[in-house]
Amino acid sequence: MIFRSNLKPLTIDARILRELRNAKSHSHVTNCELSERCETQPGKIASRIAALREAGYEIEEHPHFGFRLLAAPDRLIADDLAAMLDGCTLVREILVFQRTDSTNDVAAQLSRSGSAEGAIIFAEAQSAGRGRLGRKWDSPAHEGLWFSILLRPKIPIQEWTRLTTLAAVAIAQGIESVIENRAAIKWPNDIYLGDKKAVGILIESHAGENGFAVLGIGVNVNQTQFPGVLADRATSLRQFTGHVFDRQLVAVAILRELDALYPKMRDRFSEIVAAAEARSYLRGRKIECEFAGRRICGVAETLDENGALILRNPDGSTVTLHSGEATIASI
Ligand code: BTN
């Protein structure tokens, strides 16, 4: 099943959720206020509140004070996400699949059928979630965030590699705002909490006349365990902090950061590079990296103006890595 919600204009349900969520210190909103602010008939409010309750929202009704949101279901709801992202310029529509193969593939299909930049595709579960280098990405239902964003960057295609740094900074900042702790960027595509990976980024660019890029993001949010070898390498926000997170709030925090940073990709990219540097997991560490068919070993230094990693060789010379898979050297 797919649920879809546009941001412009917001649906009635999205407007009701926006008003209930915006109510100061979770206070009540009267039917009259809701119908005015949502631009709909008071009778319609009552029926939509009933539908929202049916979908799992706990909404209290007081005879004088009106409605109050007590709790939201632990599900990704397109209208609710749209409501919380109201005001973002990048985000245009939200699609939520209960299950799909890979949200990156859905985004690519949408792009080919003419969808505009800013379509966000979430899946509660993916049956063929993939990571970089053809790896499988574990995407269990209702435990994490598996989503993709359709982008059509208005910068020369050779600069689209900047998307990696931009995404990493937006995700790290979004996560930091919800966990109230530091997130590190392991160049180029991973977000680490402590010494374990919590987020993977998969950007797939499709050049051509109607070129587009799909930014795929996998966030381990509420898992309490990981299968097989992942147990030693992966973590979730919950494992790292000891708290359960509202996945929708995590998604909104990331997308709001992305919305704020995306316009800086062209002229103010140095700010994004600086933010990435400040969160570097590799800086000063001895690493090994596969680059242009060669295995390179050296100490990770700064990032260049496009987000490429500068590596210092044992002989003192430097090499700039534009992409690759870095591992911490064992010696
Ligand atoms: C990696 O670390 O190798 C990248 C993992 C990217 C996973 C996300 S989940 C949403 C999107 N759909 C996919 O199939 N992959 C990305």
Residue 309: burial class (beta carbons within 10 Å; 0-12, 13-18, 19+): buried
pLDDT at 78: 97
CB 196 within 8 A of CB 234: yes
pLDDT at 203: 97
Domains of the chain, earliest start first: 7-71 (1.10.10.10), 88-278 (3.30.930.10), 286-328 (2.30.30.100)
pLDDT at 25: 67
Separation of CA 217 and ligand 1 centre (Å): 5
Separation of CA 134 and ligand 1 centre (Å): 10
pLDDT at 155: 92
Separation of CA 153 and ligand 1 centre (Å): 20
Q: Quick one: which atom of ligand 1 is closest to the CA of 147?
A: 10
pLDDT at 254: 98
Separation of CA 120 and ligand 1 centre (Å): 14
pLDDT at 301: 96
Residue nearest to atom 3 of ligand 1 (CA): 131
Q: Quick one: which atom of ligand 1 is closest to the CA of 199?
A: 2
pLDDT at 291: 77
Tokens 């009552």 -> residue: 46
Which positions of the chain have pLDDT values less than 70?
25-26, 331
pLDDT at 295: 87
Task: Give the residues surrounding ligand 1 with Cβ less than 6 Å away.
Answer: 102-104, 126, 129-132, 135, 137, 139, 146-148, 189-190, 200-202, 216-218
- Ligand 1 pocket: which of 137, 148, 171 to mutate (most atoms within 8 A of CB): 137
- Ligand 1 pocket: which of 97, 99, 104 to mutate (most atoms within 8 A of CB): 104
Instruction: State pTM to two decimals.
Output: 0.96
pLDDT at 209: 83
Q: Quick one: which atom of ligand 1 is closest to the CA of 129?
A: 14
pLDDT at 293: 80
For residues 152 and 265, give the distance between their C-alpha atoms in angstroms, rounded to a whole number.
12
